[in-house]
Chains A and B, each alone.
Chain A
Amino acid sequence: MEIPNLEITEWVSELKPYQSNSINQLLDEHDSEETIKLWLSANGPTSTIQFGGENESPEPFLERFKEEFKKFICGDEKYNQFREQLSAEAPIAKSIYISVIAAALGATLGYTATLLAPAVAIMLHVVGTVGVNAWCTTN
């Protein structure tokens, strides 16, 4: 599978406005990896005690996310079905890359795809910059 080499702004522009606005603000001050970390670990304003939910702090899962993303991109067979789904599209729209990969990783990680979509968009830029083979070799 090939990932197009695009500017990060082109990937981020495929996200919903509420996602792209926050991601662009984070990218203004942080690199790609830190931006993904800050998005996935965010839990609302730090100065606010929350009055609902199961009172469990979001479990850090950045490493698991990156591990599963690598499996997807680098050909792990458990994601064959999703890669075939992508291959069926020609050409593959950027939004399709993001939604299919986010859905696949979300199913594995137990997280809703919409939470992962911004992280997937940024990772696709990183992979596209160096090429799939090179990225899979060095990671």
Chain B
Amino acid sequence: MQLFTQQVVTIGKVTPQHVQMLGTGFFISENKVATTRHVVGNNNDGLVILAPHINNINAYQDTSDNSCRPIQANIVEIDPIKDLAILQIDGTLNGQLPPIGSFDEVNVSEEVGIFGFPHSVEGRRVLTYQKAELGAKVLLSSNGIKTKHGVINIQARPGQSGSLVFSGRLNRIVGILVGAYAPDGANGISLGGINPRELHQTTHCISAEYLRDML
């Protein structure tokens, strides 16, 4: 459990004023970080990961502490179809990382853990563990190409894209959180910055197996 405090990181972009947090990513090798393409965009301008801010998952995370240690990151692979990206950083993570698995190996109704930074795009940096069941396995289409996804029974929020989805039984990374079901993309009304159509427990995660071809 403690390794996830080092493996799961916030992705950000350095602006003249501050570091804007964009979402979540996680180490898949000593110097490569996986996330979604929509978190990082299309270029390396100002792209960073934030060095881990806790060593103990049970530590109280100080939400008033705005300090951070950005580490420059470069996009080395982008898959716009599957909405995945691999970043390379100057630095290394030491430790035995869990291997990359697949939703093929997880049964519907089985529990998975999610590590990410909900609300990070709103300025809150709290590494959060959630657990959910795999509710369904689905094929989702992007420009006609279908890819394997899991539906996990939990509500996700902005900032969680790129979160690590983990199977404790397999001790493997089995998915990457990419967003939530929406019948027509991001359309809908906004109430106080929240689109009510996002507020449900049909969260989409792409199967982690696709990361292997990107390494």
Contacts and interface: CB of A to CB of B under 8 A. Distances in A.
Interface of A: 16-19, 21-22, 25-26, 29, 38-56, 58, 106, 110-112, 114-115
Contact of B156 (A51, A56, A114): A51
A39 B80 CA distance: 7
A16 B214 contact: yes
Contacts of A43: 37-38, 80, 83, 142
Interface string B79-102: 111111000000000000000000
A84 B45 CA distance: 27
Nearest to B186: A49
Contacts of A55: 186
A51 B75 contact: no
B81 A39 contact: yes
Contacts of B79: 18-19, 22
A52 B121 contact: yes
Nearest to B158: A51
B213 A18 contact: yes
B8 to A, nearest CB: 14
Given A44-B179, A54-B41, 12 more contacts: A17-B213, A18-B82, A43-B83, A43-B142, A47-B140, A48-B181, A49-B195, A51-B178, A52-B120, A52-B121, A52-B159, A54-B20
B182 A44 contact: no
Nearest to A46: B185
Interface string B172-190: 0000011111110110000
9 closest pairs, A vs B, by CB?
A: A52-B23, A44-B83, A52-B161, A45-B140, A42-B80, A49-B182, A18-B213, A52-B39, A48-B179
Interface stretch (B57-65, B105-113, B129-137, B144-152): B144-152
Contacts of A48: 83, 140, 178-182, 185, 204
B213 A53 contact: no
Nearest to A21: B213
A5 B20 CA distance: 47
B143 A41 contact: yes
B42 A115 contact: yes
Contacts of B141: 45-47
B77 interface: yes
B40 interface: yes
A52 B24 CA distance: 8
23 contacts: A16-B77, A18-B82, A18-B210, A18-B213, A22-B79, A22-B81, A25-B145, A39-B80, A41-B80, A42-B143, A43-B142, A45-B149, A48-B83, A48-B178, A49-B198, A51-B23, A51-B161, A51-B178, A52-B162, A55-B186, A56-B41, A58-B80, A112-B75
Contacts of A111: 42-43
A26 B143 contact: yes
B50 interface: no
B18 to A, nearest CB: 14
A28 to B, nearest CB: 10
Nearest to B160: A51
B76 interface: yes
Nearest to A20: B213
